[in-house]
Amino acid sequence: MPPIIHEEKCVKCGYCAQICPLDVLYLDKQEPNPRLRVRYPDECWHCRACEKDCPQGAITMRYPLSHFMLHYTPEKGGENQ
Amino acid sequence: MKTYTCDFLIVGGGVAGLMAAIPAAKSGAKVIIAEKADTRRSGSGANGNDHYHCYIPQCHGADPARARREIGSSFDAGPWTDPKLTDVWIMRSYEIVQMWESIGIDMRPTGEYHFEGHGIPGCQLYNLKFDGKNQKPALTAEALKQGAQILNHIVISEILTNEEGRVVGAIGADVHAEEPEAVLFQSKAVLLATGMVSRMYPSITPAYMFNTPCCPATTGSGQAMAYRAGARLVNMDMLKGHAGPKYFARGGKGTWIGITTDIHGKPFTPYGDKPSRATGDVTADVWPSCYYDRMKAGQGPTYMNCTETPPEDLDYMLHEAMVSEGIDSITDYTEQRNIDLSKEMIEFGTYPIMMSQRGIDCDEHSHTSIPGLYAAGNCMGNVGGSLAGAAAFGLVAGEDAAEYIKTVSQEDVSNHPKLKETLDLYQMLMERRNQPHAHWKEALSTLQNLMNEYGGVELQNEDTLKAGYTYVQQLKADSLNALGCENSHELMRTLELLDMIDLAEPIFLCRRNRKESRGPHIRSDYSFTNILLNNKFQTIEKDKDGTVHMDYRLRQ
Ligand SMILES: Cc1cc2nc3c(=O)[nH]c(=O)nc-3n(C[C@H](O)[C@H](O)[C@H](O)COP(=O)(O)OP(=O)(O)OC[C@H]3O[C@@H](n4cnc5c(N)ncnc54)[C@H](O)[C@@H]3O)c2cc1C
Ligand code: SF4
Ligand code: SF4
């Protein structure tokens, strides 16, 4: 699940769900346990808007293995050098 | 169903939409922005941008001739744009820079107007390096201050025209709650500012459709609505690519300070062999297919190499520039995974096609071929400039619409025939939740495969294009027969899908009709470039009976 909601900090204000450009997040208002759910994780753009705008600092990002960044240490002095 | 009446309805509250709202509302017009997400963080500029392509007289010289020539011939304008329109964004850019500064967007983080990145070595630099991380909240606040009304979480799916053919309103769905509610707008003028087409072709990770360089919520609705209503589209046959980190798709290649090299760290382009904070490396701008081309030619992977970037520049890139640009998920990712860019290179890839700045044909006032219908930003088909183009034509559209609305009267749309048709569509899609039904993702997967294989950048011929077109029609029929939605979120995604299916038609038809090879359009049956089509753009439009007309017009 791309954004991780840290339950202990989240006050269920719903702001992140309101501003997410992809409508990934959902405030489930069910009493007595309202919850902020990452409802459509596959549709996350990993833009960090929710993380940055959460007034409680209750969100951090997890980057899934599908969105893998390929990195390589250059082989200095290789045959093309 | 809710009903709203206004003078000027703006569809899409991205950069262009918000910029249009400001002058129109200021002039006293009743302006509504209908945005499917939330204007504070929506669209391709959601989290920021950092390059504003502009001409500032005290920096570039009082005579704009050189700027016009250099910007006009650069990749920022591009070959598929009308110079007359390029001139508008160049000449209005400084005014917008000053306006943005006045509403709290930091246009000179260093204290001076400073130009950096996307630079061609030896040329003047025109990309103002600014800090756009708050651009969307700031533009939203200004639009509200001027009196515009913003309705978030409303997805518009159809525009309405009257008997004479002028625009009179639009229909959409409020997707705020679990259950969608139809919304009808009666308006004298409408602006389409819905951005590019991000998800019509497969993503760099086909199983993950939202892994796209630009905002995946921009799905060509403006172009599709315009086409269905009979507006002229242009340059739909000129596919466009982008490049960046592989497999983590992200726009903003100009923010990187490094050089393009092979796996041994050896540069191979003529654009510099040392990282330069001043110019960046324009390889990804001018040759975005190089990563794919080199792999295909057996030349190995290609990297963004920051290993020789001075430590202070690397720190600046990761912790300031990428934040301004709204791409600091790259920073966060590399930090979480302990990737040290001073030692390791990041492989770049050529991203699959996205249709940006291909679409609605507009004049220099942002007017489409339908009276009262405007388009601005990435959904226009004949202007470049990215952010600067979107901001300028948003402004122009807002100013022009403010005058236009004084010349026409409101028309009652409560019995418009399109209204029933659209409500029936929503109802049909929602009612199917009670029975086994198809999901939008199934159909989008097929559409993406078709666009890639039959309508992509690989060598094509009449047979392939004709077959592709036929299959898309089959997909449309089957989709309409089978798709269903569980809730308003799924309705929004399904409407996006249907728009993208509709946009396949002008792409296939224009490509079939272009009986030559040119730029990204390569045909085995017409492998020559026909000089009679030089300096011409292909247009496509539907008449009242649904008959399609294609033509070539001069580049203006
Ligand atoms: C990471 C990144 C960095 C970039 N950096 C730069 C840069 O530094 N300089 C530069 O010049 N360009 C840059 N760009 C490009 C720039 O952001 C875009 O050109 C610009 O945002 C386009 O503005 P727009 O208003 O046309 O579209 P967008 O800003 O994408 O807005 C379109 C809006 O329409 C809404 N919408 C879509 N369909 C509907 C519908 N049917 N109903 C209601 N609403 C709808 C969307 O939610 C969205 O809010 C960057 C892009 C990205 C992704
Ligand atoms: S914005 Fe933060 S506090 Fe509010 S619901 Fe989201 S995660 Fe919870
Ligand atoms: S990272 Fe962006 S797209 Fe993903 S949930 Fe947060 S706001 Fe939405």
**Domains parsed from chain A with CATH numbers:** 3-61 (3.30.70.20)
What's the gap between Cα B519 and its chain centre? 20
Tell me what pLDDT residue A71 has: 97
Burial of residue B87 (number of CB atoms within 10 Å: 0-12, 13-18, 19+): middle
Per-residue pLDDT of chain B (556 residues; tens, 9 = 90+): 999 999 999 999 999 999 999 999 999 999 999 999 999 999 999 999 999 999 999 999 999 999 988 888 887 788 899 999 999 999 999 999 999 999 999 999 999 999 998 888 778 899 999 999 999 999 999 999 999 999 999 999 999 999 999 999 999 999 999 999 999 999 999 999 999 999 999 999 999 999 999 999 999 999 999 999 999 999 999 998 889 999 999 999 999 999 999 999 999 988 888 999 988 888 888 888 999 999 999 999 999 999 999 999 999 999 999 999 999 999 999 999 999 999 999 999 999 898 998 999 999 999 999 999 999 999 999 999 999 999 999 999 999 999 999 999 999 999 999 999 999 999 999 999 999 999 999 999 999 999 999 999 989 999 999 999 999 999 999 999 999 999 999 999 999 999 999 999 999 999 999 999 999 999 999 999 999 999 999 999 999 999 999 999 999 9
Cite the residue boundaries of each domain of chain B with CATH code 3.90.700: 243-350
Residues in chain B within 8 Å Cβ distance of A18: 38, 152
Residues in chain A within 8 Å Cβ distance of B209: 42-43
Residues in chain B within 8 Å Cβ distance of A79: 264
Tell me what pLDDT residue B272 has: 81
Per-residue pLDDT of chain A (81 residues; tens, 9 = 90+): 799 999 999 999 999 999 999 999 999 998 888 999 999 999 999 999 999 999 999 999 999 999 999 999 997 654 444
**Alpha helix (H) residue ranges in B271-310:** 283-286, 290-296
- Indicate which of B211, B261, B493 best probes the interface with A, i.e. most A CBs within 10 Å of its own CB: B211
d(CA B320, CA B327): 10
Out of B211, B265, B333, name the one closest to residue A74 (CB).
B265
Residues in chain A within 8 Å Cβ distance of B247: 66-70
The CB of A20 under 6 Å from ligand 2? The reply is no
**Alpha helix (H) residue ranges in B405-540:** 417-431, 440-454, 462-482, 488-513
Neighbours of B455 (CB within 10 A): 26
Asked whether the CA dihedral B411, B412, B418, B423 is positive or negative, the reply is positive
Min distance B70 CA to chain A CA atoms (Å)? 33
Tell me what pLDDT residue A73 has: 96
Tell me what pLDDT residue B75 has: 76
Q: What single-letter amino acid sits at B215?
A: C
Q: What single-letter amino acid sits at B87?
A: D
> Is the CB of residue B489 less than 8 Å away from at least one CB of chain A?
yes
Tell me what pLDDT residue A32 has: 87
Strand ranges in chain A using DSSP code E only, listed in sequence order: 3-5, 25-28, 35-38, 59-61, 71-72
d(CA B233, CA B509): 12
Min distance A15 CA to chain B CA atoms (Å)? 11
Q: What single-letter amino acid sits at B456?
A: G
**CATH architecture, range B243-350:** Alpha-Beta Complex (3.90)
Determine, for residues A69 and B336 on separate chains, whether the beta-carbon distance falls below 8 Å: no
Measured in Å, how far apart are chain B's first and last C-alpha atoms?
A: 43
Burial of residue A29 (number of CB atoms within 10 Å: 0-12, 13-18, 19+): exposed
Query: Do B237 and B507 meet the contact criterion of CB atoms below 8 Å apart?
Result: yes
Tell me, letter by letter, the H, E, C secondary structure of B370-424. Answer: CCCEEECHHHECCCCCHHHHHHHHHHHHHHHHHHHHHHCCCCCCCCCHHHHHHHH
Q: Which two tokens mark A54? A: 């959460």
Tell me what pLDDT residue A80 has: 40
Neighbours of A72 (CB within 10 A): 14
pTM for the full predicted model: 0.97
Cite the residue boundaries of each domain of chain B with CATH code 1.20.58.100: 417-554
Determine, for residues A47 and B329 on separate chains, whether the beta-carbon distance falls below 8 Å: yes
Query: Do A37 and A26 meet the contact criterion of CB atoms below 8 Å apart?
Result: yes
Q: Which two tokens mark A18? A: 């309101």
Q: To test ligand 2's pocket by mutation, which of A5, A6, A7, A10 has the most ligand atoms within 8 angstroms of CB?
A: A10
- Indicate which of B248, B324, B342 best probes the interface with A, i.e. most A CBs within 10 Å of its own CB: B248
Q: Which residues pair with B244 in a beta bridge?
A: B349
Task: For residue range B72-125, list pLDDT tens digits in order.
Answer: 888 778 889 999 999 999 999 999 999 999 999 999 999 999 999 888 877 889
- Indicate which of A18, A26, A70 best probes the interface with B, i.e. most B CBs within 10 Å of its own CB: A70
Q: Report domain B417-554's class.
A: mainly alpha
Residue partners of B126: CB distance under 8 A and separation at least 6: B53, B54, B55, B60, B67, B70, B71, B74, B76, B115
**Stretch (H or E) spanning B15:** helix B15-26
Min distance A35 CA to chain B CA atoms (Å)? 16
ipTM: 0.95
Out of A18, A61, A64, name the one closest to residue B329 (CB).
A61
B 217-276 residues with CB < 8 A to A: 217, 245-249, 261-266
DSSP per-residue codes, B43-110:
STTTT---EEE---HHHH-S-THHHHHHHHTSTTT-TTS-HHHHHHHHHHHHHHHHHHHHTT-BS-TT
Q: Which two tokens mark B138? A: 């700031």
B 147-186 residues with CB < 8 A to A: 152-153, 175
Tell me what pLDDT residue B375 has: 98
The CB of A49 under 6 Å from ligand 3? The reply is yes
Determine, for residues A48 and B208 on separate chains, whether the beta-carbon distance falls below 8 Å: no
